[in-house]
Amino acid sequence: MLAKARSQKEALSLPAQERIELVVEPWDSLAPGEIPIPEWQRDLIRARLAALDEILPEERSATWKAVRPRIFADKA
């Protein structure tokens, strides 16, 4: 446990870019089935996919040019 704490302390002292690399490499090595997905997240994904099915096809495939003004309308 002491070695883990020492490694963690060393990792936290690295510059941001090196800490990111330290995290990304092990993360990328995980196979999709190795990452546990809680049931509540699965339920959320199912609900969002069901909501997407209710959107009209022309709204689902809107171009950025058409969507951008709606997104930023209240920012002007």
In the prediction, which pLDDT does 1 show? 66
The whole-model pTM stands at: 0.44
Q: Could you write out the DSSP letters of every residue in 32-60?
A: GGGS---HHHHHHHHHHHHHHHTS-HHHH
Q: Given a cut of 70, is residue 71 above it in pLDDT? A: yes
Q: What is the mean pLDDT of residues 58-75?
A: 83
Tokens 């969507």 correspond to 67
Domain extents in the chain: 2-29, 39-75
pLDDT digits (tens, 9 = 90+) for 15-60: 999 999 999 989 899 988 888 899 999 999 999 999 888 887 777 7
User: For residues 58 and 66, what is the distance between their CA atoms, to the nearest angstrom?
Assistant: 11
Pairwise pLDDT comparison (39 vs 70), residue with the higher score: 39
